[in-house]
Amino acid sequence: MDYPGHLSRVYILYDLLHDHIFGEMYQYRFVIVPNLAVDGICLGLMELGLSAEISGRVFVAITVVVMAGGVLAWHYAIFRRWSCCPMLIFPFIYHDIFFYGFINYFFGIGVAFLGAAIWRLNEGRRLPGPLLILLLFSILLFFSHLMALLIMVGLIVGRGLGSQVLRRHRSKSAMLRLLAGAAVGLLPLGLLAFAPLLGESSPLSFAAITRQLSLAVLVSRFTLLRNVTWGYDHVTDLVSLACLAVIAGYVLLVRALRVDLASVVPFVGLIAVYLIVPEYIFGTSYAVERLPIVIFMTVVGSTDMVMRQRWERIALPGLLVALSLLRGAAVESAWARANAAFSPLLAALDRVPAYARIYSANAVNGTIASLVRMPFGSLPGYAVIRRNAYFSGTFAIPSQNLVVRQPRYAAGPPTPGFYHAGQPTTLNDPHDPYTDAQLAFYDYALIINPELWPNQPPANLKPVVAGPGYTLFAIARTHVVP
């Protein structure tokens, strides 16, 4: 869902550095902001001659590889051997939260596991070299995603403390090494003092934490953990969950499971954070939904299986391959259906006049899960790339992005947030998708689930294309555009 908003910003950033077509709408400013993984990598690929859309696809592919590679590396660093056990991550990288499009975050957590693995592999070396490598990873993670930086440091510190607890004789040198690693790992957070994000974010309060401790919230969060196996097809998801249960049950029954006890500490720490963290913290929305995949990666990377029989060494990899193919087929089928559903709207967006202004308004009946899986409201991001249009959903947030809107566009009318059908609304509140100010400023309105809104489209909105759950309207303007 967030992907077109990020990709369109990268396209604008590339333009501002070269052709300046978007100069009237946006400006580039050099400030310290985190969460720039997609900007840096896609911009570099575009400099090599790739288009914005191809660069975005390459970035997603890199993200998938880095996430899998991070778990494999973490497992090898702990057990010092290659095993098929960490390959359990392969079928589940594409999972429920991937639909949200948190691409900087997913890239970052893969790098976080790689950084923690390299720190573990260098435990026997003298400190200057490993600390320098850790500092480089920390800086990379600061500019990839802040949560990923904290996850890497948590893995390093948590497992280090676990090792100390398990030792019969405490090692002062190991403890000093751990403290040095934590200090160097967190060093880039000092850059936040010069970043607008810190000044615009509310500090985490004790009240915000305690609000998460009700029984209903705790139950819902434990239920949310299953979303790691949830994806494109419910039958496939249930089969996947059953396969995980069979594998876990078998290795426990035959006592083939090996657990890195030192990794229990970061695992417990992740669970604790997961249960108390608010939904929104320091510019990161859906913070809770982001953590189950990290918990799963930690479990997979910190466990191993001792396969004594030859048939076991064949059966487990075979099951993982079959599961990956099954879920891969579900992915391919879902993509084909999505492409077919998106095509009419994308074709219409390809025909809008250059430099047109577009806004979208999303209504849902219940949760936003359906919009996440079929994010029609985000697709005008492609009109930015293909038609140099202005789209209100392009991410250009002053506290988080290098691209920001020019004052005239920043002062434009606000667009409605997610409207949940059944909630009270009036014609003049932020949930009105057809305010006079919006219709005067924009050329097109993409209304998601128009039948759920309490307001009817005014007469000067002319349907351009309609599909299951959306209508793109052209605005026959009755007011002068400012």
Closest-CA residue to 411 (of 25, 101, 1)? 25
pLDDT of res. 188: 93
Answer whether residue 360 is part of any domain: yes
Answer whether residue 3 is part of any domain: no
Query: Looking at the predicted structure, is the pLDDT value of residue 424 above 90?
Result: no
Q: pLDDT for 178-233, tens place per residue?
A: 999 999 999 999 988 888 876 555 555 566 666 667 777 788 888 888 888 888 78
Helices (H), 34-145: 37-47, 52-79, 103-121, 128-142
* 205 and 142 inside one domain: yes
* 270 and 358 inside one domain: no
Answer whether residue 1 is part of any domain: no
Q: Which of 273, 290, 306 is the last residue of a domain?
A: 306
- Distant-in-sequence, close-in-space partners of 466: CB < 8 Å, separation ≥ 6: 472
Containing structural domain, residue 172? 31-306
Run of H or E including 340: helix 310-349
Percentage with pLDDT > 90 across the chain:
58
* 358 and 288 inside one domain: no
Q: How far apart are CA 213 and CA 93, in angstroms?
A: 29
Query: Looking at the predicted structure, is the pLDDT value of residue 425 above 70?
Result: no
Q: Which of 50-64, 164-178, 396-410 has the lowest mean pLDDT?
A: 164-178
Q: Are 383 and 352 in contact (CB under 8 A)?
A: yes
Give φ, ψ of 474 to 5 degrees: -90, 135
* 365 and 277 inside one domain: no
- Within 10 Å of residue 300's Cβ, how many Cβ atoms? 21
pLDDT of res. 428: 44
Percentage with pLDDT > 70 across the chain:
93
- Distant-in-sequence, close-in-space partners of 177: CB < 8 Å, separation ≥ 6: 123, 127, 160
Run of H or E including 158: helix 146-166
- Distant-in-sequence, close-in-space partners of 117: CB < 8 Å, separation ≥ 6: 70, 73, 74, 76, 77
Q: pLDDT for 95-136, tens place per residue?
A: 888 888 999 999 999 999 999 999 999 987 888 899 999 999
- Within 10 Å of residue 320's Cβ, how many Cβ atoms? 19
Q: Which of 306, 334, 367 is the last residue of a domain?
A: 306
Binned at pLDDT 50, 70 and 90, residue 470 comes out as very high
* 271 and 357 inside one domain: no
Binned at pLDDT 50, 70 and 90, residue 423 comes out as low
* 378 and 300 inside one domain: no
* 358 and 284 inside one domain: no
Answer whether residue 11 is part of any domain: no
Answer whether residue 336 is part of any domain: no
pLDDT of res. 416: 80
Number of structural domains in the chain: 2
pLDDT of res. 210: 66
* 269 and 382 inside one domain: no
Higher pLDDT among residues 291 and 281, named by residue = 291
- Within 10 Å of residue 172's Cβ, how many Cβ atoms? 7
- Distant-in-sequence, close-in-space partners of 202: CB < 8 Å, separation ≥ 6: none
Answer whether residue 157 is part of any domain: yes
Structure-block tokens of residue 270: 């992740």
Answer whether residue 286 is part of any domain: yes
* 364 and 434 inside one domain: yes
pLDDT of res. 59: 97
* 378 and 297 inside one domain: no
pLDDT of res. 473: 97
Binned at pLDDT 50, 70 and 90, residue 400 comes out as confident
Query: Looking at the predicted structure, is the pLDDT value of residue 479 above 70?
Result: no
Binned at pLDDT 50, 70 and 90, residue 418 comes out as confident
* 297 and 376 inside one domain: no
Answer whether residue 321 is part of any domain: no
pLDDT of res. 427: 45
* 435 and 298 inside one domain: no
